[in-house]
Structure 1
Amino acid sequence: MNESIRTVPHHDALIYAMVTMSAVDSTMTDREMKKIGNIVQNLPIFASFDQEELISTAKACAELLQADDGLDAVLNVIAASLPPTLYETAYAMAVEVAAADLHVEQEELRFLQRLRDRLGLEKLIVAAIERGARARHATR
């Protein structure tokens, strides 16, 4: 493992989790991008975040993902940059982006598994977050 893992501000790390979720299936849908924008615009954790920085933060994440070990690098940055109190928040935001287009691909499920493993989230917490997202996005 690297002796030093790059860190970013916590806002950026949360955005990295969402952008990576959107990108892992190689299709960043308009619904997913709109969901990311809505989350950044409306959730209290982003109150002090400069909305004008969203695009550049998303681009920085995309550049990191392009590296040979891109997904591992992004997961390391997320885990190293967030305080443990925001691990569940990062996972919940990733789940919201996955649910945005009402269909979750296998690549997205694998990313969620890697994210929850990397953050060491408890199974019951993960189940509650996922169930809440299913309830919010139900269509019938």
Structure 2
Amino acid sequence: MGDFNHLDICWRDNTARHKQSRRFLKCVDGDFVLHVIEEPTKRSAMLDLVLTNKEGLVGNVKLKGSLGCSDHEMVEFKIFRAARRAHSKLTTLKLRRADFGVFRDLLGRVPWDKALEGRGAQESWLVFKLQAQE
């Protein structure tokens, strides 16, 4: 969690104008990190980020107004313990048994340009994940 000060990042489209911000996006995307705040935290910009590498670990994110003279919103969120996550199924893939040809064929049948049109990185990942599970 923190104030990352990348004003030029568009989180919906996963794009940025400046090289440093594009590098930051590449790191976040490359490490499969999830960004869980969906509203601007400073005027119309999303500068304060809560990043996690596990879906379901962080939730109940709320913006609570500014504190004192700050021009940033306070961010409240919960970190769920292992007890809460114990209800979800954990699947371990055995990649040595995988038939990547079939996987490639199935994913090749989806018109990805239309399926992901107008979606940001997070939403596109969820669409991809749902398609891969079918």
Q: Do both proteins adopt the same fold according to a TM-score greater than 0.5, normalized to the shorter chain?
A: no
TM bucket normalised to smaller = under 0.3
Larger RCO, structures 1/2 (Cα 8 Å, 6+ apart): 1
**Normalized per residue, which structure has more strand?**
2
**Normalized per residue, which structure has more helix?**
1
**TM-score for the superposition, normalised by structure 2:** 0.25
**TM-score for the superposition, normalised by structure 1:** 0.25
